[in-house]
Chain A
Amino acid sequence: MHYQTASWGSYVAPSRSNAMVGVGGDPLERIERLASENAVVIFSISSCCMCHAIKRLFCGMGVNPAVHELDEDPSGKDLERALIRLLGTSSVVPVVFIGGKLVGTMDRVMACHINGTLVPLLKEAGALWL
């Protein structure tokens, strides 16, 4: 919620040549792109148990999130570093985007759920019906 995608757009570093196909561009850009591809996007690490918990949370609510496992992504390290810079904390996963907008880590997601703002957000993004 705190970051607009527009601001990311302004941060355009000279494109580094990534060996990976389809990866091109700056990590933040990539994050932004990935985040807007689905209603609910979670950046996670496959071995992280908290990530598992957050996946269970959304699934339990009937939401089908798009999960990007950073440890299974070739440029995962870059993405992770970019996320760290974005969030300002070192424990970045799991990180949740809803409707392309950053919601936050487990802390924020749970707070939003308890105070009743998560569900409307999900509905607005089309991730939940009824």
Chain B
Amino acid sequence: MESHRIIGGGGLGLSEAGPSATHHQHHHHVPTYGVLHGINTTNPSTLINEGHAFNFGELEEAIVLQGVKGRNDEGKAPLFTTAAAPPRPAATLDMFPSWPIRFHQTSRGGSKSGGESTDSALSTKTEPPFEAESPMSKKATTPSSLDHHDASRIIGPSSSSQAKSPHEKRKGAGSTSEKPLDAKTLRRLAQNREAARKSRLRKKAYVQQLESSRLKLTQLEQDLQRARSQGLFMDCGGVGGNLSSGAAMFDMEYARWLEEEQRVMGELRNGLQAPLSDGEMRGIVDGYLSHYDELFRLKAVAAKSDVFHLINGMWTSQAERCFLWIGGFRPSDLITMLIQQLEPLAEQQIMGMYGLRHSSQQAEDALSQGLDQLQQSLVDTIAGGPIVDGVQQMVVAMGKLANLEGFVRQADNLRQQTLHQLCRLLTVRQAARCFIVIGEYYGRLRALSSLWASRPRETLMSDDNNSCQTTTDLQMVQPSHHHHHHNHHHFPSF
């Protein structure tokens, strides 16, 4: 498109383009060079003028070098075929007549092209002083904004516009092309290059910083979302809003565990689809088991520092918390779900699953009864006895509370053993499917919690009859229902 403009307008057309548009196009349109042929005033000075707006160092150097080399550069060759013409600043190309080009306002000034004479030429030849900034100049005020290649691009459009007003004072470029390079010029060129490069690097660093901040922000938002879905913020009434350090640590690690869970689930799914060999699937299934082993290890550590956090389930999602049994899932319930979802199973396997469920139920009952006795004993200790004995009472009570950790440990142990036994009962592929089902099941519970937590709540004024008006689904939840969340510790399992 740019070509059209150039050709059509004899270079003037470029002014029609929007600044940025043209600006960008300048970088990519080599064809414009061809146009330059026909343009008489291919005055390197103008090129330099424009170039300095962008990346002066490169442009200038390019021009200078070309001048020195006799202009045998590829893209730039055509530009300079006519560059032999003596610099005519007045007649230099004004490719952007509407954008007066700032000449003196960049740090490098406009005087560096070629030799001293060029300098003076450039700096003084400004006929029409550059009042406003050309958009391109503007863009180039952060000198790093353009790359090397801009130089050549700029030259194109630059030269393409016919010389209108002597905006360019770069006639010195013309002379530049004829002057030999000297040390001073070389040094100046090098400095320019260096400065341009540094600016580019700065800009890149800044952009990278922005990018990483953006990523961090997204990450924070996700964490917030997850924490909210787990009711950490919504349900502070039950906890007091303050997490102990052990609890906070565990929550963090659990969040990471959940992310890892996604990865392992993906492995399982992929392994089943792209049918891997049994040996390979075994490895993946074992990986899933290790993943859960890791969770139980984390919970063991957390139980030492804050067993109440595990028991009241604040670390898990609300729906999961609803079915909590001694700080985690109830294995027999899980097996019941699996027996239904994993069909078809061989007769022997079904028997094994039922047997596993039975054993688990017995163990669960035993642990529950033990915990009941602990609770009773605690109540007796706290409630009974004269106040005189207060401290002693507390000491005894503390000793009894310490047993809680043991129960959580045993419950987790039961969960762990159950998962391992499941693995033994099933074939490798069945085990993989089984774990996928488990993962999806809890994933759905978590999603349900999330949805529930973010449902729109309408406070209905008077009608407070606790009836669950589910007709319009989530919209009609009575405010009284909200408070039930706080009472989950009344569930009989504990």
Contact = CB atoms under 8 A, between A and B. Distances in A.
Interface of A: 47-50, 52-54, 56-57, 60-61, 91, 106-107, 110-111, 113-116, 118
Interface in B370-404: 370-371, 373-374, 377, 400, 403
Nearest to A108: B413
A115 B413 contact: no
Interface string B215-257: 0000000000000000000000000000000000000000000
B370 A113 contact: no
B32 interface: no
Contact of B370 (A47, A52, A115): A52
B377 A61 contact: no
A83 to B, nearest CB: 17
Contacts of B360: 114
Contact of A114 (B367, B371, B417): B417
Contacts of A57: 362-363, 365-366
Given A107-B413, A114-B414, A115-B417, A49 B363 contact: no
B369 A53 contact: yes
Contacts of B413: 107, 110-111
B20 interface: no
Given A49-B403, A53-B370, A106-B410, A116 B363 contact: no
Contacts of A113: 359, 362-363
A80 to B, nearest CB: 17
Contacts of A52: 369-370, 373
4 smallest A-B Cβ distances: which pairs? A53-B370, A57-B366, A114-B417, A49-B374
Contacts of B437: none
Given A113-B363, A114-B421, A115-B421, A50 B406 contact: yes
A114 B357 CA distance: 9
Interface residues of B, number: 27
Q: Which of A91, A111, A114 is packed against the most chain B CB atoms within 10 Å? A: A114
A114 B363 contact: yes
Contact of A50 (B365, B403, B414, B424): B403
Contacts of A49: 370-371, 373-374, 377, 400, 403, 407
Nearest to B404: A49
Q: Which of B369, B403, B424 is packed against the most chain A CB atoms within 10 Å? A: B369
A49 B401 CA distance: 11
Contacts of B374: 49
B355 interface: yes
A116 B424 CA distance: 11
Nearest to A61: B362
B418 A114 contact: yes
B436 interface: no
B356 interface: yes
Contacts of B418: 114
Nearest to B361: A60
A114 B369 contact: no
A91 B409 CA distance: 13
A110 B355 contact: no
Contacts of B356: 114, 116
A106 B366 CA distance: 11
Given A50-B410, A114-B356, A114-B363, A56 B369 contact: yes
Interface string B46-83: 00000000000000000000000000000000000000
Interface in B420-469: 420-421, 424
A107 B367 CA distance: 12
Nearest to B378: A49
